[in-house]
Every structure is written in structure tokens, then in C-alpha cells.
């Protein structure tokens, strides 16, 4: 009798069996393996975005004409088949879906792990296999989430009190006036260091989640994760640092081609609306 009670306590199922079978692929997502796949695939999409975003932001070094023309190009992507910003909204929707699924999969995997080990570890965990980046994934993930919320309010929405001197469709001005504030520049540096730890471990472990973990490939995986992280985070860190150093500044509002640059607006029509920067010829050139 006593045995029966002990057994019923020790072999409690981790999760209740679902009363009805969910259709594919939702039934796969019920399992730990399915959640790991979702984390890995959405992780690849998010890594692709932050890589492309960093490359696009390198236009800051070319000056406002190039940076703002790039923003304009993004808004008119797919024209004339797609209208103003439709492609951009499609990409934003995909990005948001990937972000939400990534967080949901991470959260529910954590809940599954907790349910599987309700009393916690009795001894020190084996931290040889779980390095610092791996152990801090939840914390770096939370910092990145808070950063992205701040970042969108700062540079996309132009929220008063969060942004610098925000001007719609003038990302060059918005980045510079935002990063000129030392506290904000410091926050971008810290958030990107946290992002670095997160993507370094993420890039390494997504191969594991997808089952591509042949020991012979481990060296390549680690190198790829390191190079990718250094390139993306190196680029991202350079922006607030270079604004603080005065290398990227409002002085650069005169482009390398000797033309003053004015903010493009969509209501100008013609070439201006399609992405060509509005160029005001200097006195001397007239
Ligand atoms: C210091 C480095 C960064 C710079 C200079 C930068 C710059 C910008 C700018 C200028 C925009 C506004 C684009 C516009 O609507 O005109 C933007 C939007 C955005 N950024 Fe960044 N960014 C940086 C790092 C990051 C990082 C690390 C992430 C993700 C972890 C990120 C995610 C986003 C997202 C999700 C948006 C909104 C996209 C949209 O509205 O279409 N950014 N960024």
C-alpha cells in the first residue's frame, strides 16, 4: 500500500495528456522537439533580419543621402506591383510572427523543464557543458525584448520622451539625435552585448535543435557562431560609439558629392517619392 502511494507520487506524468489530438503541425508543437524546431527556425529568420539590418545601417557611414535613400527604397520595395510600404508591412508581419513564436516556444520549453524537475537540482549543475552564454539565455532574451520595444519607440514611432529630435522618414537624423545622448548610447551598447551573448549561443545551439550535430562539424559550428556574432555585434556597437565620437554626426548633412541633403517626403511625388533623395544644389553649384 505504502509502495503504491510512493509510486503514484514519483511517476506523476510531466504533462497531462491532451484530451483530443491536435491537427498537424500543432500536435508537433505540443512536444519538446517540436518547440525546439520552432525556436531554431524562427531563430534563423531573426538572425537573418539582424544581419541584414546591420548591413543596411552601415549606410550611416555614407551620410544622410544614402541612409535616407535606403529607408525610402525599403518603403517602395516591390513598386509598382506593390504600393507604398506594402512589402515592408509584409516583412514586419513575418518578423513579428517569428519573434512571438520564438518567445512562446522558449517560455513553454522552460515551463516543461520546470514541470519535469519541480524540486530543482540538489547538487551543482554540470556547468562544463552549459557555458555562460547558454546559462544566461533567458536573461539576455529578456534584455533584448525590452531593447526592441524601446528601439521601435525610439527610431520607428518617434515616441516623445524616448526619441531624440525625431523627423519622420529621416532615419539618419533620428539615429544621430538619439545616440548623441550618452545614456542612450550606453544602453544600446549594453543591449547589443546582451544580444551578442544570446545570438552566439543561439547560432551554436540551433544546429543541435535541428539535429545537425555531427561531432566532426562542431568546430565549424563554433567558428560560424563566433564570426557571425562578431560581425553583427561589431557593426551594431560601432554606431552609438561613432556617434559619440563625432564620426557620424549632423555635420555630415553635406554629402560626399558636395550637395546639401533635405528630408525626402512622400507627398513630393515623382522621383522623390520613389526613392531619389531631394537634393538642394549649393549656392556655388548654381
Ligand atoms: C545600434 C544598432 C542599430 C541601429 C543604428 C538601428 C537602426 C534602426 C532604425 C533607423 C530603424 C527605423 C527604420 C525606419 O522605420 O525608418 C530601426 C528599426 C528597427 N530595428 Fe534597429 N537598429 C539597430 C539595432 C537593432 C537590433 C540589435 C535589433 C534587433 C535585435 C533591431 C531591430 C529593429 C526592428 C525590429 C525595427 C523596426 C523595423 C520596422 O519598423 O520596419 N535593431 N532600427
Q: What is the pTM of this model?
A: 0.82
Quote the ligand 1 centre to 145 CA distance (angstroms): 13
Annotate the chain with DSSP letters as a single string: -HHHHHHHHHT--SSPPPSSPPPTTHHHHTSHHHHHHHHHHHHHHHHHHHHHHHHHHGGGGG-HHHHHHHHHHHHTTTTTTS-TTHHHHHHHHHHHHHHHHHHHHHHHHHHHHHHH-TT--SS---TTTS-HHHHTHHHHHHHHHHHHHHHIIIIII--TTTSSS--TT-HHHHHHHHHTSHHHHHHHHHHHHHHHHHHHHHHHHHHHHTT---GGGHHHHHHHHHHHHHHHHHHHHHHHHHHHTTSSSGGGGB-TTS-EEE---GGG-HHHHTTPPEEE--GGG-
Q: Report how far ligand 1's centroid is from the alpha carbon of 175 (Å).
A: 10
Cα(75) to ligand 1 centroid in Å equals: 14
Calculate what percentage of the chain has a pLDDT beyond 90: 58
Predicted confidence at residue 24, as pLDDT, reads 81
For residue 152 and ligand 1, the question of a CB distance below 6 A is answered with yes
How many whole angstroms from 151 Cα to the centroid of ligand 1? Answer: 7
Q: Does 124 have pLDDT greater than 80? A: no
**How much is the pLDDT for 213?**
78
Top-confidence range, 28-37, 208-217, 257-266? 28-37
Which three cell numbers, joined as nine digits, stand for 147?
531593447
pLDDT at 17: 61
> Rounded mean pLDDT of 14-42?
82
Specify which of 106-120, 149-163, 244-258 reaches the highest per-range mean pLDDT: 149-163
- Using most ligand atoms within 8 A of CB, pick from 43, 48, 50, 53 the residue to mutate for ligand 1: 53
Residue 229 has pLDDT above 50, yes or no: yes
Is pLDDT above 50 for 1?
A: no
- Say whether pLDDT at 261 is over 80: no
pLDDT tens track for 150-193: 999 999 999 999 999 999 999 999 999 999 999 999 999 999 99
pLDDT for residue 93: 97
Q: Is the CB of 206 under 6 A from ligand 1?
A: no
- Contact by Cβ (8 Å): 203, 224: yes
pLDDT value of residue 217: 85
Fold of the domain spanning 32-116+134-259: 3 helical TM bundles of succinate and fumarate reductases (1.20.1300)
Amino acid at each position: 500500500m505504502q509502495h503504491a502511494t510512493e509510486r503514484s507520487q514519483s511517476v506523476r506524468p510531466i504533462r497531462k495528456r491532451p484530451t483530443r489530438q491536435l491537427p498537424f503541425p500543432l500536435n508537433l508543437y505540443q512536444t519538446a522537439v517540436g518547440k525546439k524546431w520552432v525556436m531554431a527556425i524562427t531563430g534563423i529568420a531573426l538572425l537573418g533580419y539582424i544581419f541584414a539590418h546591420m548591413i543596411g545601417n552601415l549606410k550611416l557611414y555614407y551620410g544622410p543621402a544614402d541612409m535616407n535613400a535606403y529607408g525610402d527604397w525599403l518603403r517602395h520595395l516591390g513598386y509598382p506591383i506593390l504600393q507604398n510600404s506594402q512589402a515592408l508591412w509584409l516583412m514586419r508581419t513575418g518578423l513579428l510572427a517569428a519573434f512571438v513564436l520564438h518567445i512562446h516556444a522558449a517560455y513553454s520549453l522552460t515551463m516543461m523543464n520546470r514541470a519535469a524537475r519541480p524540486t530543482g537540482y540538489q547538487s551543482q549543475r554540470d556547468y562544463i557543458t552549459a557555458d555562460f552564454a547558454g546559462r544566461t539565455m533567458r536573461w539576455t532574451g529578456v534584455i533584448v525584448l525590452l531593447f526592441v520595444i524601446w528601439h521601435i519607440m525610439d527610431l520607428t514611432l518617434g515616441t516623445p520622451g524616448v526619441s531624440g529630435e525625431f523627423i519622420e522618414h529621416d532615419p539618419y537624423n533620428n539615429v544621430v539625435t538619439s545616440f548623441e545622448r550618452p545614456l542612450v548610447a550606453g544602453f544600446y551598447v549594453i543591449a547589443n552585448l546582451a544580444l551578442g551573448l544570446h545570438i552566439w549561443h543561439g547560432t551554436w545551439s540551433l544546429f543541435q535543435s535541428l539535429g545537425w550535430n555531427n561531432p566532426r562539424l562542431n568546430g565549424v559550428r563554433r567558428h560560424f557562431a563566433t564570426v557571425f556574432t562578431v560581425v553583427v555585434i561589431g557593426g551594431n556597437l560601432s554606431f552609438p560609439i561613432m556617434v559619440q565620437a563625432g564620426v557620424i554626426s549632423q555635420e555630415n548633412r553635406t554629402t560626399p558629392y558636395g550637395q546639401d541633403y533635405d528630408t525626402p517626403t512622400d507627398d513630393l511625388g515623382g522621383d522623390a517619392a520613389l526613392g531619389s533623395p531631394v537634393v538642394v544644389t549649393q549656392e556655388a553649384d548654381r
